[in-house]
Structure 1
Amino acid sequence: MKRKLIYFLFLLTGNCIFMHAQVGIQTSNPQGVFNIDAAKDNPATGTPSSAQQANDVAVTAAGNMGIGTTVPTNKLHVNGTDPLRLQGVGTGSSSTDPLLVIDGNGIVKNIGTLGSLSIPSPAVFRLETAQSNFLQSQGAGGSQVVPMSVIKNSIPGMSYNAATSTITFPAGTYQITFVYEATHNATGCTISSYFVDFPLNATTSRIHNTASHSEGTLSNHGGTITYATTVPANKTWTISLGRGQSGNCSGAGMLLSATSTQVLVFRIGD
């Protein structure tokens, strides 16, 4: 029993020093209610320097804990070079999980999800094989599917069916740009008119593009049609290009160019 008591007293006097309800480990001058001086370099009196605090852990009467500082200003205050490492963190959701940022004072804060911040996320689709006699069987108002491949899709929840050229959207606000390049060498073909039926909520919205060009061999023409829209969750849209009302080109002869015919989709917010 005496040995146990002596050992207990040794622990108290050899490793921990109690002063007015303050606990110091390896220091006789604890800063706050609890202070570990790992390097045992704190002064016997007064406040440790910044270099001396760098190896300390301290808890104040307010319940703040400091690592690398004996005067923590927050519930957890870490002071040091590259002070935080989290290993084994799981994968989150960019559509539902909030983002963390650090303000000018080093305070960690939540600023919402990517969607709420309206940071654009892109998806790119491209025509890989040129389409000969495109829209040959379509009159004004008719359209034809453009069989594109997905080049990049960084929009969470968006999927693409390459067999049907159909995009399935998560709910949100989007900017969609249809870029096309073609040639049409039919006699009398000097005005090309095309349209895209963009998705809009439960319906579509038709946007035209009309341009004049030279007649004859290698009569190149192209255009860009852009639209901003909102869609509900699981809205589908098949990539198609239609023949507008204002052109004078018809029948065989149109070649829809590969690579330069693309669709760019940007999710710009919730």
Structure 2
Amino acid sequence: MRNKFYIIFTLTIGSLAFGQVGINTQNPQGIFNIDGGKNNAATGTPTAIQLADDFIVTASGSTGIGADPDASAILELNVSQLATTNKKGFLGPRVALTAYNDAVTIPSPATGLLVFNLGTAALTYKGYVYWDGYQWRPFDGRSSQLGTIGSLTCTDNTLEPLTYTSGVPFAGTMSVPYAGGNEGMYPAQSIGPVNGLTATLSQSNFAQGSGTLNYRISGIPTVSSPSTTTFPLSIGGQSCSASVGLGKVLAPGEYQFFTYRLPATYVGLLSTQIGSSYNAVLGGKIRLDLNFTVSSNQGSGAVSYNPRLVNVSPGNIKLWYVASSSIDHFRRANVLLASGGYMETDNGVYLNWGDNMNGSSTAVTATSSSDDSQEMETIDLIVDGIWYRIIVYVSVDNLNDNDPTNNIRRVFMTAQRMSSSQ
């Protein structure tokens, strides 16, 4: 009898030891289940809403908070059934790491260990980081070490759009190349305002080796291009000054094309007619312009404009030029041109409507070889020791009708840098 009692007692204790434990529920969903709201069904599977306040540990060791954990998860946190105004998040351990490879604050961190770095110690990056076995990295895999570069070349910066106008809101990007990057992190920056413009840089990482920093330039400029705006840059252990606003600076061999359209009757400077979008400026110093002296609505033989070189820099510039057209040649050497001064490279260029034929005209089957309706000019220019070649070609288009008030001029200009500086 005593042996039978012992067997029954042992089986009862074993059942309790290896059974399910429920707190606030008679229907535990795992080996251990706390029903915080005491709202689980007495039998069967509770609803998702009923499980929203549960803590469950399964026989395989998976843990679920707010849900019966998925079989593939060691831990599942589910807040989908909580009220919209009562959602909750995950709050990880918060530490102040002292370096990107700090293994002292948390001794011998395991690979994959996750913490939230407060950014209040020497490692200033603020956010979740994980240990990769060598260093702490943000979730996107970037290095959290302090970023350094070997060089920062402000003189090779570019601005897009190239120019700005005083009083007109501007938004663009200044790109500055660097070399010798270590993949480290650099902080966000805000520089300015300078001439009404501010340069901002978002936090990111340098590339390994060479790369480009892209600053956002924004604001309402107080000056107009080609007057420059200079931002003092200091980042990654390097400093330099980046000047923008000159306009496009051509590399040796590079071309730039300019096309404009204006009424054939307009008298005045091309740049004045086009306005703030006019961008025919070389190296931020010489504006290529055309001075229309009379209407081009005239017959063959009429001269109606002169090419003009204008010094738009704040100081004097030294220049040389040779202008050759289909009609004539002009040249000047060692000319010191004052700021705001100009030089015209011709004494008058043929531009008129020529034969003025349109859609109602009788098409010709043969014509003479030439007339004096138009003239193309090539200008070889040296300024600041750089040789440029400029081609100017302007035509009058009657738009194929009989109304001369509709006539337009089409302006085509190209500029090519023919040399490096000397």
TM-score, normalising length from structure 1?
A: 0.40
> TM-score, structure 2 length as denominator?
0.28
- For the pair shown, the structure with the greater C-alpha radius of gyration is 2
